Amino acid sequence: MDNTISTLLKIFDSFFKRAILPSIMLLVFLYILQTYNTKIDILLPSIEEKNYLLLFMLSITLSYIMSILTQSIFDNHLKNNFYGRFFYTSENRTLDLLREKVINKLKKENDIFEDIEYNDYFLYQVIGRKLAFIKPETKTTRYMDEIKSAGIIFLSIIITIFVVMITYHSFMNVIIELLLIGLIFIFSFDYIKSKYRSRAIRIYINYLIENKF
């Protein structure tokens, strides 16, 4: 019973960090827009009216929606090597060297993946499974919490800018805001990729030294 409760608390804690807390930022942004700009009319429950239950339900619903959007927009398009262009680019060479060593070791252990392209995404599927049977466990929850929460925060900023953009129809404003959204997309992809890269490096190192102790 205690183990079940502990497991449930861990799951909820992870969901809170990954989805609920970051999604609340979108509500905060939208509330600020609605409060200080009469042109923006967003149907949100009023805090002054003490609709706390409705706010809680809205937060949970929004968290699931934002999680799905983040998965579709960011994660599903990061299924190759995790090279970076802006954040922590010095890790690119480290990743290359470790990946090569990991591939060599994997080929010596098993040849069933010989005809498959080895990239960071694929190697995570294989090595993550192998490391699951090795103690102590290689924990990557922290990386995933940061990845999911960062994706939702970036998406919240983009949605907020989009709301402002459709409110003001000035041609110049639209151009500037579209450029801003594009820049945020580029930097958000690179930042999220940097977190996947850090996770890959940790997994590669643990896999390479698993028999050294």
pLDDT tens digits, one per residue of 128-148: 777 766 666 667 778 888 888
For helices 91-109 and 120-131, angle between their N-to-C axes, nearest 10 degrees: 60
Please report, rounded to a whole number, the percentage of residues in the chain having pLDDT higher than 70.
75
In a domain, 16, yes or no: yes
Question: What are the residues whose beta carbons fall under 8 Å from the beta carbon of 17, sequence distance 6 or more?
Answer: 145, 149
In a domain, 213, yes or no: no
In a domain, 127, yes or no: yes
The answer to whether 59 touches 21, Cβ cutoff 8 Å, is no
Mean pLDDT value of segment 179-206 = 92
In a domain, 19, yes or no: yes
With a cut of 90, say whether residue 60 has pLDDT above it. no
In a domain, 84, yes or no: yes
The answer to whether 120 touches 96, Cβ cutoff 8 Å, is no
The two three-digit tokens of residue 115, written as one number: 């005809």
In a domain, 133, yes or no: yes
DSSP state of 136: S
In a domain, 192, yes or no: yes
Confidence of residue 213 (pLDDT cuts 50, 70, 90): very low
What per-residue confidence (pLDDT) applies to 44?
58
What range does the domain containing 193 cover? 2-208
What per-residue confidence (pLDDT) applies to 20?
76
What is the tally of structural domains in the chain? 1
In a domain, 57, yes or no: yes
Reported as a single tens digit per residue, the pLDDT across 73-112 is: 898 888 889 998 888 888 899 999 999 999 988 888 877 7
The two three-digit tokens of residue 118, written as one number: 């080895």
